Amino acid sequence: MDEIFYSEEDLAKWRQAGKISAEALQYGLSLIKPGASVLEVCDAVDKKIFSLGARPSFPSQVSLNDVAAHFCPDAEDKLILSDQVVKLDVGASVDGFLGDTAATVDLSGRHEKLVAASKDALAAAVSVAKAGVRLNELGRVIEQKINSYGYRPIINLSGHGIGKFQVHTSPTVPNFDNRDEELLYDGQFIAIEPFATNGSGSIYESTTPTVFMQVAKKPVRSSDARQLLAEIQKYEGLPFARRWLEGNTFKVNFALRQLISAGCVQVFPPLVERNHGLVSQAEHTVLVRKDGCEVLTAV
């Protein structure tokens, strides 16, 4: 595909979603400090997105140290920030038009280079992204920049396309030269998302997911599961957090297991670096153009 067209109204909503995502990220970063509650940070960022006239594209996530992504606290979570490497990943939805952005804070004061590796890799990829550029070229730029700092990109995490009510869609935007020669095209929305690590360069899915997404609507026997399925319709296929769900915790967990087993709901477990190396992340949502790209989540 060479190009795609959106109405001016659609583009305005996508730009608004990007702007709100960026503002929410900066607000969240200001809350990340020793002694802060991870749960309170995530709740505050989600509320900020609502206050700015949007809804979360997904639950705000704070992933620490060797956890690369997808950590979202439950309602009873007592985790407190101290000296961790903290990834904050947020997004805003305006009528289904989405933003997705992330940054890393080093609370220890010992890992500034690791934070810079993913941040500068993002800037390098953004500088070359335009219609006609191959996906593996973005991956090569990211890989080279991260390697120049003495770290590795995480090769089984990637950036992604973004669509209306679709946080992750095609294409896959690699963080290394994966030899994918698919071309970017004018009018395409993508998230460029480098991850740098001092570990092995790969992740695995851990246990106890707290982020979920409805992927189908199927008949289920349990009345609790049917009630929960009706409740999650309001998220319109976007990810949601367990702590957002109403009702008795035992019943909610039982209903979720039923919906997962039936194939109605997909889980997103925390993603952990395979050798438990530290991980940094940076991310922008961009609109690809013929002469470059428009960074929708720029500050």
Q: Give the whole-angstrom CA distance, residue 115 versus residue 109.
A: 11
Mean pLDDT computed over every residue of the chain = 96
Q: Which two tokens stand for residue 25?
A: 């990220």
Spatial separation of the C-alpha atoms in residues 89 and 105, rounded to whole Å: 11
The tokens describing 63, both together, are: 């992933």
Active site residue ranges: 89, 100, 160, 168, 193, 283
pLDDT at position 6: 80
242-245: Cβ within 8 A, 24+ apart: 242/72, 242/74, 242/75, 242/210, 242/211, 242/212, 243/39, 243/72, 243/73, 243/74, 243/75, 243/210, 244/59
Q: What is the DSSP letter of 96?
A: T
Q: For every one of its 299 residues, what pLDDT tens digit does the chain have, with 9 covering 90 and above?
A: 445 668 999 999 999 999 999 999 999 999 999 999 999 999 999 999 999 999 999 999 999 999 999 999 999 999 999 999 999 999 999 999 999 999 999 999 999 999 999 999 999 999 999 999 999 999 999 999 999 999 999 999 999 999 999 999 999 999 999 999 999 999 999 999 999 999 999 999 998 999 999 999 999 999 999 999 999 999 999 999 999 998 888 999 999 999 999 999 999 999 999 999 999 999 999 999 999 999 999 99
Q: 162 — phi, psi (to 5°)? A: -130, 130
Scored b (16 or more CB within 10 A) or e, 59-84 reads bbbbbbbbbbbbbbbeeebebebeeb
Q: In angstroms, rounded to a whole number, what is the distance separating the alpha carbons of residues 63 and 79?
A: 11
Residue type, 25: L
d(CA 20, CA 26): 10
pLDDT of residue 2: 46
Distance from C-alpha of 61 to C-alpha of 67, rounded to nearest angstrom: 11
